[in-house]
Structure 1
Amino acid sequence: MSSAAAKSLSALLEQASIDDHEEILKACNNALKTSKNDPELLHVRFVALIKLDRYDDALQIVKDSGDKFKDRAKIECAYALYKTGQLEEAKALARSITNHRGARHVEAQASYRSEDFANAAKLYKELANSPTGLHDGESDLRINSSAVDAQLEWTGQGTLVSNKKPSREALEAFETAYNAACSSIARSELGQASILLKRTNDLCMSIQDLSEAEKQAEVLPIRVQQLYVATLLGKTEEANKLASEIPIQEIPDLSTRRVAENNAIASESSTTNPYLNRKVLDVASTLPKNDQLFTFQDSQLHENSLILDLLAQKPKAVINATEKVITAHQPTTSPHVNSLSALNAAAHAQGDLAKLGLKQILPLFEKRPNDVGLAMTIIQLYCLTNNHGSAITVLDKLLAHLSQSTSPSSNDQDVLHAPGLVALQVSLYRTQNRKAPIRAAFARAASYWRHRSKPLPTDLLQAAGASLLDSPEHQKLVAEIFETLHAAQPDSKPATAGFIASHALTSPASITETDISTLPPLAQQINAIDIDALEEGGAPSLPAPTTTTNPTAKKRGLDDKPKPIKKRVRKSRMPKDFDPNRKPDPERWLPLQERSSYKPNKKKGKGKGRGGGGGEAERDRTQGGISEKQPEKGGQVVGAGGGGSGGGGGKSKGGKKKGKR
């Protein structure tokens, strides 16, 4: 076929309305047999291969044809690179195409898959704000944008998400409702996520345009997420039921299938065989480049496999799998690396906790003094035994080792002043009511982060400013902290309030009327407080002072003593002949010689047995007697040593002997 014929064929293919891409590809292949380098035919063949999802074959055309063809089909080439997992090349090529909406879409999708979620959110925001006539693409734009918001929440960048609450439009489509549910899961709003997932399931099953098989395929990822939420909520029966109903091997996406297998194992009871569960994860198929797990998912699956190794009594395998990663990345605030440190410590402790586990782990800390995850594990074990002093000692050792790095660009300094470590310091110091170290920790961290070019940790700076606000030696630092926060967040009421409070005495001229007007007035803040309810609920109140308007009010003095409360004696402890109307002798517990009614016998030593001073009868009269001043009428006088009609030998009243009458 001549060159002219090839051109006419390519022109015919451009004007044709053939929907079968296989037929188009077949016609192009026949035409290229006589004209191998025709750019029009190559372009048509390239697009046909992309339509048939044969991305590797399409990129082979680019490789064989050179840069000239690549410049001709930039957008298609960028899309093929994205679909084959060559994300950085796809982003660079799409970024080189200016003023092209399709190129921005490809760049945003490649940024999403490469976990550059901040850039993806920025691109989708620009696409949403740009004027366009592609109204049929707005739905895809909304779906992709909500997916990016969910990933931002998962990776701890939730501050970049503008709309936390899903709109009404988002709840009308199952794709956007599903993304809203994922965002709620990332924010630990599990109850809200459960409701949204049920709505997502109902919306998906009610779509008329999908066949029953297509509905079941779309519902599978939703059910996998429901299984995850039910497991986190502790709904064991519901989780087991969902796990048994999900046909895991029928899930088309291999990454979703891998997550479903993991969640099914995690939802099972602790009596399952860890060896069999480990085998299930080992036989899982390798994921393709265009269907990889995100980093936070892959990290969790890796940690779960190591946990199964621990349960299967393979501590050496866990130690060997974690030591290289730990050594290469410490010190770090990476959750995954620090979790590996905790698993490494658990493998060395071989399941022992508290004191027994500490004996095995403490020597490791001497070898790896900058291992943040290991230090956190030791601190946690000390806190479990209520030994906060030793926990503070371990944390101080870690911070002292990190502070030895003097390089301003070193990662050690970022870890040293990390908000999480500062919060841990403050919490441990508060257990011992050590206010000075708390202020010192806040002051060091705030001074460090204010001069860093990274995004400011606003929560840390705000906590530091609030803690140091009443410290006279840190007034200048507090003013600088709130000045920085107020400049970065002019609409933040806490930042504005701190700015006003810190500058009110030192530089009141810097406070504007706009700053004051942004804060709600005091009357508005206290108008909802019910004073009567507070008093009834136990809120302390001051006693009413004595005034002329209230002459009957009595002010309690400091010397006023409360009246003693009379203790009620049980009846079983009362004597049988006790008379409540008779006042007992207050001196009844004193020895006889110490009573006020005591009169010594002048005939001391004579007549033993009488009531004399030194006889045996005198010494036998123990405590509990009744004073001689009290009358005997009205009750029987009973001595503590006995009484009644006991044995003979005594004399009755009147000097007569006792006996039968």
Structure 2
Amino acid sequence: MATTVPELSALFRQTHLHSNNEDILKAANAALKKAKTDVVAQQARVVALLKLDRFADALRAFDEAGDALKQHAQLEYSYALYKAGDLEKALDVAGQAAATGEGDRGAKHVLAQTSYRLEKFDRAASVYSQLEGPSARAMGEENDLRINSVAVDAQLEWQGNGHLVKRKKPQKEDLEAFESAYNAACASISRGSLLEGQVLLQRAKDLCTASEDLPEDEKRAELLPILTQQLYVLIQQGRNEQAARLFETIELSGIPDLSTRQIARINGLVVSPGTDNPFMVQRLFEHSEPLPKNDLLFEYQSSLVRQDQYTLDLRSLKYKGVASSTSRYLSSHPSPTTSAVVNSVSTLNTAACAQGETGKSALKFILPLLEQRPNDVGLLLTILQLYLLTNNHSSAINLLEKFLTRLEESDTSQSLDVRYAPGLVATLISLYSLQGRKTHIRRELAKAAAYWRSQQGSPSDPLLHPNLFKAAGAALLESDVPEDAETALAIFTSLHEQISSDRANTAGLVASLATTNPTAVTLDLLAALTPAARLVADLDAAALESAGVARTAPTSSVETAVKKRPAEGKDKTVKKRIRASRMPKEFVEGKKMDPERWLPLRERSYWKPKGRKGKARAAGLTQGGPVAEDKPVVEKAGVVGPGSGAGAKKKKKGKR
């Protein structure tokens, strides 16, 4: 039976602006005693339970009321599921509510938050972009949306999807509140800009300390996550002494979120004194509280914790245990993959199988594993690293080329994505650079750029790997082939359309147009570049010219040698020092050396033969002198050839 209007008014007359949620709950329960199926009273009851943070009781109330209340109050139901940790179901209910218009903005907020906790950050970013606009300003949600959007951008960077982030730099509005400044710092840290993140964290700390809206206890609670993030930045910068002093000021028990508390405690173990004993560190590491379902670590955080656990086990000489557990993990994740989590576990599995050995001795244990897991990227990179440590560059290049060829021949989308992954392409290019294979570098970059351009849905879609395209375009500009120049033009045109503010993209576009279509270079493109006068403003051309220009060694025998012009004040004549082993036996300092000392004695101009035979031989060698006639050779009669005549043996007489 539905509640009548007078009864409903009486229900809400029992509450007022200053009454607490307990009074509302009592009023709703009293109304439900009269009519158990009253949907309005049921909704008032669950709202009061949610405001009292009694999420399990709220879900129980939904189950008791049945499907009617769940359909009528989808917003409240999705929020109760979200707070209780049932994220998958909360995502479905919030998605239905947002699609049907039930709850409208509230349902979209729950949908975005649930997507965020499920690490579906691309969907969360899309929902927040829908909530932005005039409606957000009218509802007073603009600041909250900015804070949450920056947090999503940071998570996208950590997830490896930085190409989906539109705002790469913190904006002025992000520095007005400590929440947005903290999230902007996290976004900078996720991109690797530690110095920028450190400055923003200090800004967030100052804003939080100076806030007049927060009581002192809430200030302390809000400062603890900021200090925890500062601890991480100091450790990443290698400033362990400062990190240790900062960790002493962090009160772990005061951190409200258990996940943040666990991260702070683990990072503190890195800089705490007395961590040289791996067995003691392992014991302290494993002493942690279980995390609730609604406060779990994100995947990139839990993967790092897992890696720390395996690393401590390896330091404690638990090779078999690490090899067994990591093998089970790898068997449940297909390969090849570009997942940093899976490949990191593969590297730890390789270290466990090598049993602490390095160099050539480790290769004896690891190379047989490649036959069992031929598509394991982490195992491959570990072997490449060992080859490089032993200066075996050729084997490293051959192994990587065979691996990439095998992936290319498989012709599956996943294998091809791994084949042209920027990390593997960069590894191969680095190996080629060690041997000076510029043609191979240009060819590899061109193939990778062509593949990722083919994967782009439309020209307006963002480029997946802009840094790879920049490297490919720059390499193709050095080629003399006209097709390479056209490809470089297409690459830099796409890059400039995507990010026109990047001067590197503009410079690449101008350079490619200069070789293909010089008339297309506009004044706007040239104005966007740094003027040449500014680039050489701090250079003194006259001083450089007077000092002389150093040249590198000739790269080929065809290159002509050009003498370097000496600088002023230096002696132009440099006396060449002769080694003692090349000196004559009777060498006297200051005496002029014989210029014909390297010629044979008979070929020197001052040589005179000694004795009668020597003079006669010299006269015969003189050009134009008398020539002695050859004496005839008289052969002995009867000598016809070998084996006959006096040289032949006589036969012995015998009986006939």
Q: Please, what TM-score do these two structures have when normalized by structure 2?
A: 0.77
Distance in 2, matches of 1:419 and 1:186, equals 18
2:471 matches 1:466: no
SS at match of 2:288: coil
Contact 1:490–1:496 (CA under 8 A) maintained in structure 2: yes
Structure 2 distance, partners of 1:284, 1:219, is 22
CA distance, structure 2, for counterparts of residue 448 and residue 292 of structure 1: 38
Distance 1:130 1:396 in 2: 55
SS of 1:284 mapped into structure 2 = coil
Q: How many residues align?
A: 573
Structure 2 residue 20 is matched with structure 1 residue 20? yes
Query: Within the alignment, does 1:154 sit opposite 2:161 as a pair?
Result: no
User: 1:250 corresponds to which letter in structure 2?
Assistant: G
Q: 1:492–1:600: structure 2 CA closer, same or farther, 3 Å change rule?
A: closer
Which segment drifts farther, 15-24 or 296-305? 15-24
For residues 601 and 278 of structure 1, the distance between their equivalents in structure 2, rounded to whole angstroms, comes to 95
Could you tell me whether the CA contact under 8 Å between 2:231 and 2:247 is conserved in 1? yes
Q: Which amino acid aligns with 2:531?
A: Q
1:425 aligns with 2:428: yes
Alignment correspondent of 1:442: 445
Q: Which residue of 2 aligns with 1:92?
A: 95
Shift of residue 596, structure 1, vs aligned partner: 9.5
Return the alpha-carbon distance in structure 2 between the equivalents of residues 492 and 174 of structure 1. 29
Instruction: Tell me the amino acid that sits aligned with residue 337 of structure 1.
Output: V
* Equivalence for 1:329: 334
RMSD, aligned α-carbons:
3.9
Q: Distance in 2 between matches of 1:119 and 1:540?
A: 61
Structure 1's 259 and 37: CA in aligned 2 closer, same or farther, altered over 3 A? same
Question: 2:406 corresponds to which letter in structure 1?
Answer: H
SS in 1 for 2:34: coil
Candidates 512, 515, 526, aligned match of 1:519: 526
Alignment correspondent of 2:368: 363
Of 328, 338, 347, which aligns to 2:343?
A: 338
Q: Unpaired runs of 5+ in structure 1?
A: 544-555, 570-578, 603-661
Q: Residues 537, 7 of structure 1: CA spacing in aligned structure 2 closer, same or farther, 3 A cutoff?
A: farther
Residues 290-439 of structure 1 aligned to structure 2 (within 5 Å): 290-327=294-331, 328-407=333-412, 410-439=413-442
> Partner letter of residue 347 of structure 1?
A
Provide structure 2 residue ranges, at least 5 long, that are not aligned to the other structure: 551-560, 579-587, 612-656
Q: Which moved more, 1:140-149 or 1:298-307?
A: 140-149
How far 1:311 sits from its partner (Å)? 0.9
Q: Hey, what does 1:119 align to over in structure 2?
A: 123
Corresponding residue of 1:49: 49
Deviation digits for residues 522-564 of structure 1 (CA, Å, limit 9, x no counterpart): 8933454148525535799799xxxxxxxxxxxx999x99975
Shift of 1:29: 2.1
Q: Per-residue CA shift, 1:549-608, capped at 9, x if unaligned?
A: xxxxxxx999x9997534799xxxxxxxxx99xx636459989x9999999999xxxxxx
| Cα deviations by residue, 1:72-99 (Å, 9 ceiling, x for unpaired) | 2122222222222333225423422438
Supply the distance in 2 between the matched residues of 1:523 and 1:102 (Cα, whole angstroms): 48
Counterpart position of 1:192:
196
Distance in 1 separating the partners of 2:45 and 2:187: 41
Task: Call closer, same or farther: CA 1:585–1:215 in 2, change over 3 Å.
Answer: closer
Residue in structure 2 matching 1:245, options 249, 261, 264: 249
Name the CA distance, whole Å, in 1 between partners of 2:13 and 2:76. Answer: 18
Assess if the C-alpha contact under 8 Å between 1:112 and 1:120 holds in 2.
yes
C-alpha separation in 1, matches of 2:610 and 2:340: 93
Query: How far apart, CA to CA, are the structure 2 residues paired with 1:115 and 1:429?
Result: 38
1:391-417 Cα shifts (integer Å, max 9, x gaps): 11221121122123123xx31111011
Greater Cα offset, 130-139 or 390-399: 130-139
Q: By how many angstroms is 1:468 displaced?
A: 2.3
Q: Is the 8 A contact 1:146 1:179 kept in 2?
A: yes
Give yes or no for contact 1:10–1:40 (8 Å, CA) kept in 2. Answer: no
- Compare 19-28 and 137-146 and name the one that shifted more: 137-146
Change (3 A) 1:10 1:395: farther
Q: 1:14 Cα shift?
A: 7.6
| Counterpart for residue 77 of structure 2 | 77
Distance 1:533 1:563, change over 3 A: closer
What SS does the corresponding residue of 2:426 show, helix, strand or coil?
helix
Contact 1:184/1:193 (<8 A) preserved: yes
Tell whether 2:306 aligns with 1:265: no
The structural deviation recorded for 1:379 is: 0.9
TM-aligned CA deviation for residue 188 of structure 1: 2.2
CA distance in 1 between counterparts of 2:353 and 2:546 reads 52
Going by fraction, where is helix more abundant, 1 or 2? 2
- If asked which structure has higher relative contact order (CA below 8 Å, sep 6+), I would say 2
Note if contact 2:227-2:250 (Cα within 8 Å) is conserved in structure 1: yes
Partner-residue secondary structure (3-state), 1:404: helix
Distance in 1, Cα, partners of 2:341 & 2:213:
42
- Deviation (angstroms), 1:375: 0.6
**What is aligned with 1:61?**
61
Question: How far did 1:479 drift?
Answer: 4.9
Contact 2:178–2:208, Cα closer than 8 Å, also in 1: yes
Tell me how far apart the structure 1 counterparts of residues 574 and 278 of structure 2 sit (CA, whole Å).
66
Alpha-carbon contact 2:98-2:104 (below 8 Å) kept: no
**Alpha-carbon offset, residue 251 of structure 1:** 2.1
Map 1:494-505 → 2, pairs under 5 A: 494-495=504-505, 498=508, 502=512
Q: Structure 1: which amino acid aligns with 2:448?
A: A
Separation (CA, whole Å) in 1 of partners of 2:3 and 2:470: 73
1:342 Cα deviation after fit: 0.8
Q: Deviations over 1:422-480 (max 9, x none)?
A: 11111111111123322332232222222214653232233223222324174354455
SS of corresponding position for 1:386: coil
CA contact (8 A) 2:198 2:230 kept: yes
The question of whether the paired residues in 1 share the 8 Å contact of 2:94 and 2:111 is answered with: yes
CA distance in 1, matches of 2:105, 2:118: 20
Match of 1:637 in 2: none
1:596-615 superposed matches below 5 A: none
Q: Tell me the CA shift for residue 253 of structure 1.
A: 0.9
The 8 Å contact of residues 178 and 200 in structure 1, kept in 2 or not, is answered as yes
The whole-number CA distance in structure 1 between the counterparts of 2:85 and 2:204 is 29
Corresponding residue of 1:208: 212
The 3-state SS of whatever aligns with 1:445 is: helix
CA offset at residue 302 of structure 1? 0.8
Instruction: Report the 3-state secondary structure (helix = DSSP H, G, I; strand = E; otherwise coil) of the residue aligned with 1:329.
Output: coil
Q: Which residue of 2 aligns with 1:533?
A: 540
Give the letter for the 1:372 counterpart: V
